[in-house]
Amino acid sequence: METKGTNYFIFLITLIAALGGFLFGFDMAVVSGIIEPLKLQYGLSSAQEGWFVSCALLGCIVGVAFSGYLSDKIGRRKVLFIAAVLFLISAIGFSVSAEYAMLIFFRVLAGVAVGVASNVSPLYISEVAPSKKRGQLVVFYQLAITVGILAAYISNLFLQRYATYAGAGDGILHWLLVENVWRGMFLVGVIPAGAFCLLLLIVPESPRWLVQYGRNEEALTILTKINGVETGRLELDSIKEMASQKSGGISELMRLPLSKLLTLAMVLTALSQFSGINGVIFYGPTILKSAGIVTSDALFYQVIIGSANVIFTFIAISKVDTWGRRPLYIYGSICAAFALALTGACFLMGITGWFMLASIILFLLFFAFSLGPLKFVISTEIFPTHIRGTALSICIMTMWVSDWVVNLLFPMMRDGLGIATTFFIFSFFCILSFVYAKKKLFETKGKSLEEIEKAWNSDIIKEEKLSVSKV
């Protein structure tokens, strides 16, 4: 039976692990305030602009590529610490580099850190969370991403206003915060990165990873803190039972039934990103400028968008373990398609200003409780422990490859096809997500990770899927 002590412990370690999501959101969104001054300073073309933004996503792919295997070998906690150190180095390095090539290098390094965190943070949270709260706690990671995005928008706005009204001066701080304010925007990331490094020292290892390596007593100690004594022992027995049956590696993911699960997770993840969410986040000021909002106010309106994104994520936190994953995903994806189509129609008909902003916020509402967080929840639930890190890394790599394509092409689509057509394309992918999820997605709410594994292992999932009431 859970007590206040166990609830506090669960919340604390979730909060610390979710700092990886905060840094993920911050590092990805802070570039929105950097793009315009960087374009002016270095004379970037649309293609170069797309490369500057998307190069970090290539780093994400690299980070994901090694983090899954590494987390299965040396543990989730150690790999999170590696990510924290990379965040710290990249924030300092980008801020003081003068050469454009070095800026690209540190953007890629930041991307590696984001890739590692985006893979291992939700994986860790899913493995320490009680089954009845797992959906909420993994969505808490998505909330941390949105808070990180909002923090980037607020710090960008504050530094821009400070640089505008600051007087003449000299010294390193004036160079960072006034003459080259975009450098100061990135340097702010040192604060959460340093906190992440320190707080990880008090986080325990994943109990499920410990069982895989025969460290059952350590696992029991952690499971007791999470679930209480009686439930902790039962959970340990269940984890040991499933762990003892497993062998193999990545080749197992290529065979049935895991290959079907991997396909499901990869397709849902890719379609989620093809909704264009990161195009809205990264290129927010240029989109708002196209919507008739003057450039000087664009960062302020981004704060409004970021705030809406945070608030709407609470819907997913409150409903994912009661309504379930499947209904939220299906309804959210079709409604997101409508909101994106509305935004495209506004651009097409020349409707700008607050109505345009409202249509973008409407998209964020539906994305924040469906396509955004549920890809993490689903991907961290459906795979067995011994290859969960590897499987999740493939899914997250799919996410970053999709993001790289979107962010590389967005400036060219915006300038070539037009902003209205670009949003209609994003809407089409949300419709595809709706159709695919309605056909393939099954429900997992309220089940332990071991129960989910037993279900698909004995073909129960197939039977349950047929009995799911149609949405």
Domain borders along the chain are: 9-203+246-467
Ramachandran bin of 358, using left for φ above 0, alpha for ψ from -120 to 50, beta for the remaining angles: alpha
* CB 183, CB 41: distance < 8 Å: no
**Alpha-helical regions (H) of 30-99:** 31-42, 46-74, 76-96
Which among 262, 258, 319, 326 has a CA at the least distance from the CA of 464?
A: 326
Average pLDDT, the chain: 80
Examine residue 411 and say whether the peptide bond preceding it is cis (omega within 30 degrees of 0).
Answer: no
Q: What does the buried/exposed string (b/e) look like for 364-387 if buried means 16 or more CB atoms within 10 Å of the residue's CB?
A: bbbbbbbbbbbbbbbbbbbbbbbb
Q: What tokens does 460 get?
A: 């129960």
Q: Which residues contact 243 (CB under 8 A, 6 or more apart)?
A: 208, 211, 212, 385, 386
Q: Which residues contact 350 (CB under 8 A, 6 or more apart)?
A: none
Along the 471 residues of the chain, how does pLDDT read in single tens digits?
455 556 788 888 889 999 998 998 898 788 877 877 888 888 777 777 778 877 887 888 888 888 877 888 888 899 999 999 999 999 999 888 878 888 889 999 998 998 898 888 888 888 888 777 777 787 788 788 889 988 988 888 888 888 777 666 677 777 777 778 888 888 999 999 999 999 999 999 988 888 888 888 888 888 888 877 777 787 787 777 666 555 555 777 777 777 888 888 899 999 998 988 877 766 666 666 666 655 556 667 777 777 877 887 887 777 777 788 888 889 989 999 999 999 889 888 877 767 777 888 888 888 887 888 788 788 877 787 677 777 877 888 888 788 778 877 877 887 788 888 988 999 999 999 999 998 888 777 767 666 666 666 655 445 444 444 444
Q: Is 72 buried (19+), middle (13-18) or exposed (0-12) by CB count in 10 A?
A: buried
Note the pLDDT tens digit of each residue in 146-171.
899 889 888 888 888 887 776 666 77
What's the fold here for domain 9-203+246-467?
Growth Hormone; Chain: A; (1.20.1250)
Q: Is 435 buried (19+), middle (13-18) or exposed (0-12) by CB count in 10 A?
A: middle
